Amino acid sequence: MMRRAGLVLAAMALGFSSTASAQMAPKAAPIAAEKMAKPSTMARPAASAARPKLVVMIVVDQMRADYIEKFRGQWTSGLKRLVEQSAWFREAAYPYAATETCVGHATISTGALPAISGMVANAWWDRESQKMTNCTADPKAKNSGYAGAAPKGGDSVWQLRVPAFADELRFQGGAATRVVTFSLKARASIMLGGHKADAATWFEGDGWVTSNVYGTLPFIEAYAKAHPVKADYGKTWALSLPRSAYLYEEKALGASAPSGWDLTFPHPLRGKSGGSEADESFYGQWATSPFADSYLTQLAETAIDQLGLGKGGGTDYLGVSYSSTDYVGHAFGPQSWEVQDMYVRLDKDLGELLKHLDEKVGAGNYVLALSADHGVVPTPESMAQTGVDAGDLHIPDVQQKIEDALKSFGYTSPAVARIASADVYFAPGIYDKLKMEPTALSAVLAAIRGVPGVADVYRAEQLTDRPATNSPIRNAEANSFFPARSGDLVIVPKPYWLGVSSPAGKARDYGTGHGTPYYYDQRVPILLMGWGIQKGEYFGAVTPADIAPTLAALCGITLSTHDGRVLSEALEKNPPVAKPATAH
């Protein structure tokens, strides 16, 4: 209690001085600052531009925290530097059950948990339209493509119920703030960018796209034209290290290779047929390869150059979410040569990006946060080999068991409208009726609990007040429960059981997944480096919802709501004065 009170005070003090100076900050940092004595050794003048020039948010999709412990000895560049020079939070974990991409990015981006942000899954059942809706689907928005790409639909952040950190930075910064985000995934780029990004760009089908909600930047058009993804056709993903450097077996147990590949290296990017054209399988292979990560890195570097990020009057924001680590993890599982090699390659990409930031923005002028949107569970087959109870939880069987249980009470089938993620949505009126018929409801709950792999099931009304109980699982479920969007019932799988969309007896067509309230899905790295950050290793229990409040404190702005806290243990006592970049 005492410790917490001290942290709040420290944060307030920092926030006050930064806000005051941001309002008075000149359009460009004064040249005289260059000639000053070493900033860290002098007292901060009240009117200095005491804020980072650029906030860089890196999300590595599906990066387990223990990849650092396992693989860091093989890293020589960016990831190595981050681990060595950052404030490294080694026991960070999401405190909720819905460990999915949209949810994690929304939490990192806003500092609010899904119960507040409303981002409860990548997609949920919309009771009004009786249809599935993606977390970014916006009927009023229209997507558009760069370099001739022709995307469908419309995406925006309108279903997010709180502003993003980037929105607040732009609104409160007092000077022009540029917000640019890149990812292969719409939900990643959009959640990081918030409501008014200058550009939020993602990959769809065979090209780079955005939506009319965001700006369209000429440099992205030019880059996409000059560097078509299909130029990577014919490349080969080969091992980066000697074979003896890899852990586990070359053929990962329980893995399922993308179309056109098998389970051994090398993986050629030649599509399904192996012909000479970039087909659909080629784009799937590309997205599941380190080449896509490199492309995103180069896009980010181009944005830094073309927009002069970190050189304007305000604090700029660059968000990059690396998606291929997730696609590779889903296909091959965390215990695979493929995942290990992805991180060897990402280490090099991030090394280049950091070098570029140092040269163009100036080392120490930017603050960088790296985290992940969720972890991942090993394949059930690899866990079962250790003797641990593990398997596939066949969701269609859950649905069938519910229908069977209700038939004897006179309910007409289908009583279940949809099971999405772990959420069971009944057809209109059914759940209200069930609540009036306790024996029928009990029969449904018993039927669900009888399906192999189910640990428990919660009713909506058990999750609406958070924190509801001392049960960590129920609290985790409550933290990602948003009544209008979450299910009438929420299924909790047993640990190491994978929810799959195939019925019993039919094999799943991918390696593994995530989305449970267990630590292997919840635990992710948090690394903070650069302006205002005190490097070190921290073992306290923190969450990715703490990232946005911490960046807000550094930038001297206030978030409307946050479930996280300022990670004040990682803040420098006297943040340096932001310096103008030396290279132009």
* Structural tokens at position 404: 């069977």
User: Cα–Cα distance between 391 and 397 in angstroms, integer?
Assistant: 14
Nearer to Zn ion, 500 or 552 (CB): 500
* Structural tokens at position 42: 């002098």
Nearer to Zn ion, 99 or 211 (CB): 99
Nearer to Zn ion, 155 or 326 (CB): 326
User: Cα–Cα distance between 190 and 121 in angstroms, integer?
Assistant: 15
* Structural tokens at position 347: 């280490």
Nearer to Zn ion, 351 or 515 (CB): 515
- Cβ of 46: how many Cβ atoms within 10 Å? 10
Strands of 52-91, DSSP E:
54-60, 87-89
CB of residue 88 vs Zn ion: minimum separation in angstroms? 24
Residue of closest CB approach to Zn ion: 326
CB of residue 60 vs Zn ion: minimum separation in angstroms? 12
CB of residue 551 vs Zn ion: minimum separation in angstroms? 25
User: Cα–Cα distance between 492 and 477 in angstroms, integer?
Assistant: 9
CB of residue 283 vs Zn ion: minimum separation in angstroms? 18
Nearer to Zn ion, 101 or 181 (CB): 101
Nearer to Zn ion, 324 or 550 (CB): 324
Cβ atoms of residues 112 and 162 within 8 Å: yes
CB of residue 458 vs Zn ion: minimum separation in angstroms? 23
One character per residue 299-328, x = contact with Zn ion (rule: CB under 5 A): ---------------------------x--
Nearer to Zn ion, 316 or 326 (CB): 326
User: Cα–Cα distance between 211 and 202 in angstroms, integer?
Assistant: 10
Decide: is 477 part of the binding site for Zn ion (CB under 5 A): no
One character per residue 326-345, x = contact with Zn ion (rule: CB under 5 A): x-------------------
Nearer to Zn ion, 378 or 530 (CB): 378
Strands of 240-376, DSSP E:
267-268, 316-322, 366-371
User: Cα–Cα distance between 312 and 584 in angstroms, integer?
Assistant: 12
Strands of 26-155, DSSP E:
54-60, 87-89, 123-126, 131-134, 143-145
Cβ atoms of residues 328 and 338 within 8 Å: yes
Cβ atoms of residues 265 and 250 within 8 Å: yes
H or E segment and range at residue 424 = strand 423-426
CB of residue 512 vs Zn ion: minimum separation in angstroms? 9
How many residues make contact with Zn ion (CB under 5 A)? 1
CB of residue 329 vs Zn ion: minimum separation in angstroms? 7
DSSP state of 272: T
CB of residue 237 vs Zn ion: minimum separation in angstroms? 19
CB of residue 101 vs Zn ion: minimum separation in angstroms? 6
Nearer to Zn ion, 98 or 566 (CB): 98
User: Cα–Cα distance between 548 and 169 in angstroms, integer?
Assistant: 11
**Phi and psi (nearest 5°) for 302?**
-65, -40
Nearer to Zn ion, 290 or 515 (CB): 515
Calculate helix-pair angle for 547-555, 2-24, nearest 10 degrees.
40
CB of residue 122 vs Zn ion: minimum separation in angstroms? 8
Q: What residues pair up with 55 in beta bridges, in sequence order?
A: 317, 367
Binding site for Zn ion (CB under 5 A): 326
